[in-house]
Amino acid sequence: MKEIRLLSQETIDKIAAGEVVERPASVVKELVENAIDAGANAVTVEIREGGVSLIRITDNGSGIPAEQVPAAFLRHATSKIRSVDDLLTAGTLGFRGEALSSIAAVSQVELITKTAGSLTGIRYRIEGGQEKEMEEIGAPEGTTFLVRNLFYNTPARKKFLKAPATEAGYVSDLMERLALSHPEVSFKFMMNGQTKLHTSGNNRLKDIIYGIYGREIAGNLVEIDAGADGVRIQGFIGKPAVSRGNRNYENYFVNGRYVRSAILSKAIEEAYRPFLMAHRYPFTALVLTVDSQVVDVNVHPTKMEVRFSDQPGIYDQVYQAVKEGLAARELIPEISFERKQESAPKKEEPAPKKEYPEPFEQVRRQLLEESKSPYQVKYPQREAFRPSGQMKPVTGNSFRPPVEKEPQAVQETLFTEKLLDEKSVPLHRLIGQVFGTYWLVEFQDKLYIIDQHAAHEKVLYERFRKQLEEKQQTSQMISPPLVVTLNPQEEILLNRHLDRFREIGFEIEPFGGREYSIRAVPGNLYGIADKELFLDLLDGLSDLSDRESAQVIHEKIAMMSCKAAVKGGHTLSAREADALIGELLKLDNPYNCPHGRPTIVSMTKYEMEKKFKRIV
């Protein structure tokens, strides 16, 4: 065995720096968080060559007293905690006392700082952990850090950095999240002399979302404001129409800190699951405010991970807040003839003013003007359009032409009523079916297009889920029975969850050896159940707890019931379509099929008139 020796202080410092300073973005994160902790409401960040050659961070915070500047660069020196007990109540973003020491150990640092009331500021230089210079200097109140030549004395670390453009991208992403987590602070981010981000600090989160992500996302937001038991959840979530193929747009912050949390991601994605297709992820900008004693931010040196004392409770609150926010809005995507425009450039712009299409505004003004005297609005009944046999005539259904209404009721319809609302049913006008798949419904100033297959899938799915929850599901005998051969792992799974299978309508018996006989299946699977379907259901139960297994079985069975849905190309009568739409509108989420595809899309009268050049 080799001799055991103590490491030199220089080696210790560089090892410790490696835990905190991974790349230029790590430096920016630590220094900007210190600026926010110092009370700054304006922070400017400038980088060159991805932050490797230069990082300059200027703030208007409280500054560092001259006599404390050298101590600030010592390991474990901090003004934010005094004892281990303070770790449970730390409300600042930084508190470990490792940031400045770690940064100074692997770069050339120049600090200029001045406190309020001081006549002069201090300029302090430290390179590789060694103090080089300290002098008085004229300076504004606040602090400026210049970090040059990152990893200049640790070339082994430097070679693992990526291209300057990639490293700059990491810094840019960080600055966007810092801006989202602190809308009360004005941030300016410059890269190679060009301004990439500039926020106003007006404390309006939606303005920042617009400046960073553009008009499309800012125009498809749902506001969230919920909370209980000492937890407050605020911010915005995106409608399903603005989903993405990765989790890059999932932003959530705990007590002003951008973090990664498996429990929060799972809660958000589970709430969105009925609304999104597989492998699609939502946009969120959620701010959680919790008691500092129930969250541990001291899990990782970079403070990017947190742990909650009541994980299930946090999960439930976030899940419910997102689910209720989505359920409260009519999430029917609107289609347009126009080519989709690119998102707005990533810069701060004033939020767009709400404008109404001219025909809509004319109707609104007319109603307001004429409401001064009693009158009635008459809706003319129109004939169903039937071009060359493509569309079915509408006869004998419950969709009725609009009835005469008082002015006040008409105004409410224009501004508040939804298609999928029982009060709106008398105002629906079922036009017919096109391509044997899509039903057309006119309501107010929009044309709604309903996919009968997706709608029927959703109705069957929700119907069977309700039966499972209320234990009203049926069992259907099959003859001859299905005989399946299971491997040892599958046999263990079946025996472990056999009671669950029996609860939902399966009758399964040993058939000798490794074979099992399935004599009955859930009623909704009759006619579509086969060996592959059963084995797929069984395979999905591996590595799940008993509580999770029940949920997974119910979910999979409900999904499989969708195979019984009416297919596209199958002609429904108007009465059948009427009944289907009527059942659809009673669902909590009628907007997406179980696979996340939309059941309904809409097109405005305004868009059609633009296409036909009635509006230019």
CATH code assigned at 608? 3.30.1540.20
pLDDT for 498 beyond 70: yes
Give exposure, 550-561, as e/b (b: 16+ Cβ within 10 Å).
bebbbbbbbbbb
Cα dihedral 336, 341, 345, 351 sign = negative
pLDDT level of residue 579 (50, 70, 90 thresholds): confident
Specify the higher pLDDT residue, 155 or 468: 155
> Could you tell me if 281 and 415 lie in one domain?
no
Residue 586 token pair: 């009673």
Last residue of a domain, one of 166, 197, 228: 197
CA atoms of 554 and 117, how far apart (whole Å): 67
Burial of 59 (0-12, 13-18, 19+ CB in 10 A): buried
Tally of CB atoms within 10 A around 469: 10
CATH number, domain at 40?
3.30.565.10
> Could you tell me if 78 and 176 lie in one domain?
yes
pLDDT for 293 beyond 90: no
Answer whether residue 171 is part of any domain.
Answer: yes
For position 125, what pLDDT does the model report? 95
Q: Per mean pLDDT, which range of 95-109, 118-132, 320-334, 540-554 is the poorest?
A: 540-554
Give exposure, 315-326, as e/b (b: 16+ Cβ within 10 Å).
bebbbebbbebb
Q: How many CA atoms lie within 13 A of 235 on its CB side?
A: 27
> Could you tell me if 147 and 213 lie in one domain?
no
Answer whether residue 335 is part of any domain.
Answer: no
Q: Which 3 state secondary structure label does DSSP give 417?
A: coil
Last residue of a domain, one of 302, 327, 352: 327
CA atoms of 150 and 18, how far apart (whole Å): 12
Give exposure, 474-506, as e/b (b: 16+ Cβ within 10 Å).
eeeeeeebbebebeeebeebbeebeebbeebbb
pLDDT in tens, 148-172: 999 998 888 888 899 999 999 999 9
pLDDT for 139 beyond 80: yes
> Could you tell me if 404 and 541 lie in one domain?
yes
For position 155, what pLDDT does the model report? 87
> Could you tell me if 191 and 255 lie in one domain?
no
pLDDT level of residue 81 (50, 70, 90 thresholds): very low
> Could you tell me if 230 and 124 lie in one domain?
no
Answer whether residue 387 is part of any domain.
Answer: no
Residue 285 token pair: 């900008």
Specify the higher pLDDT residue, 557 or 182: 182
Answer whether residue 124 is part of any domain.
Answer: yes
515-520: long-range pairs with CB below 8 Å, 24+: 515/483, 515/484, 515/485, 515/486, 516/483, 516/484, 516/486, 517/481, 517/482, 517/483, 518/478, 518/481, 518/482, 518/483, 518/484, 519/477, 519/478, 519/481, 520/475, 520/476, 520/477, 520/478
**What residues pair up with 33 in beta bridges, in sequence order?**
none
Residue 311 token pair: 């994980």
Answer whether residue 352 is part of any domain.
Answer: no
Closest among 414, 449, 446 to 433, alpha carbons compared: 449
Report, as an integer, the average pLDDT of 477-504: 84
Q: Per mean pLDDT, which range of 155-159, 361-365, 412-416 is the poorest?
A: 412-416
> Could you tell me if 45 and 160 lie in one domain?
yes
CA atoms of 159 and 443, how far apart (whole Å): 62
What is the residue-wise DSSP string for 335-365? Answer: --SSPPPPPPPSS--PPPPP---HHHHHHHH
Tokens 């797929």 belong to residue: 536
Specify the higher pLDDT residue, 550 or 479: 479
Maximum alpha-carbon separation in the chain: 100
Specify the higher pLDDT residue, 365 or 60: 60
For position 178, what pLDDT does the model report? 94
Q: How many CA atoms lie within 13 A of 482 on its CB side?
A: 22
Q: Which 3 state secondary structure label does DSSP give 110?
A: strand
pLDDT for 376 beyond 70: no
Answer whether residue 608 is part of any domain.
Answer: yes
For position 546, what pLDDT does the model report? 58
pLDDT level of residue 407 (50, 70, 90 thresholds): very low
Residues 6+ positions from 469 with CB-CB distance below 8 Å: 554
Report, as an integer, the average pLDDT of 592-612: 82
Tokens 């919790």 belong to residue: 290
Answer whether residue 383 is part of any domain.
Answer: no
CATH number, domain at 264?
3.30.230.10
For position 389, what pLDDT does the model report? 36
pLDDT for 399 beyond 50: no
Report, as an integer, the average pLDDT of 333-350: 51
Residue 533 token pair: 């379907």
**What residues pair up with 189 in beta bridges, in sequence order?**
45, 197
Domain count, the chain: 3
CA atoms of 336 and 338, how far apart (whole Å): 5
Residues 6+ positions from 358 with CB-CB distance below 8 Å: 615
CA atoms of 591 and 451, how far apart (whole Å): 11
> Could you tell me if 180 and 224 lie in one domain?
no
Tally of CB atoms within 10 A around 120: 12
Answer whether residue 48 is part of any domain.
Answer: yes
Burial of 148 (0-12, 13-18, 19+ CB in 10 A): middle
Tokens 């592959």 belong to residue: 532
Report, as an integer, the average pLDDT of 519-533: 75
CA atoms of 511 and 517, how far apart (whole Å): 6
For position 429, what pLDDT does the model report? 81
- Name the pairing type of β-strands 186-191 and 42-48: parallel
pLDDT in tens, 204-247: 999 999 999 888 889 889 999 998 888 899 999 998 888 888 88
Q: Per mean pLDDT, which range of 190-204, 401-415, 467-481 is the poorest?
A: 401-415
pLDDT in tens, 107-138: 999 999 999 989 999 999 999 888 999 999 99
> Could you tell me if 412 and 539 lie in one domain?
yes
Is cis: bond before 312, omega within 30 of 0? Answer: no
Burial of 364 (0-12, 13-18, 19+ CB in 10 A): middle
Maximum average pLDDT range among 70-74, 319-323, 389-393, 487-491: 319-323
Closest among 135, 322, 94 to 227, alpha carbons compared: 322
Beta strands, E only, 486-563: 507-510, 515-522
For position 379, what pLDDT does the model report? 30
> Could you tell me if 215 and 185 lie in one domain?
no
> Could you tell me if 266 and 159 lie in one domain?
no
Task: Fill in the DSSP letter of residue 434.
Answer: E
The domain in which residue 555 lies consists of: 367-375+392-616
Average pLDDT over the chain reads 77
Reported as type and span, the H/E element at residue 18 is helix 9-20
Last residue of a domain, one of 163, 197, 231: 197
Rounded-to-10 torsion of CA 307, 238, 249, 607: 180
Q: Which 3 state secondary structure label does DSSP give 180?
A: helix
What percent of the chain has a predicted confidence (pLDDT) above 90?
27
> Could you tell me if 303 and 398 lie in one domain?
no
**What residues pair up with 137 in beta bridges, in sequence order?**
121
pLDDT for 488 beyond 60: yes
pLDDT for 359 beyond 50: no
Report, as an integer, the average pLDDT of 381-398: 37
pLDDT level of residue 596 (50, 70, 90 thresholds): confident
Single-letter code of the amino acid located at 573: S
Q: At what angle do helices 546-560 and 452-469 cross, to 10 degrees?
A: 140
For position 346, what pLDDT does the model report? 45
Are 30 and 94 in contact, with CB atoms under 8 Å apart?
yes
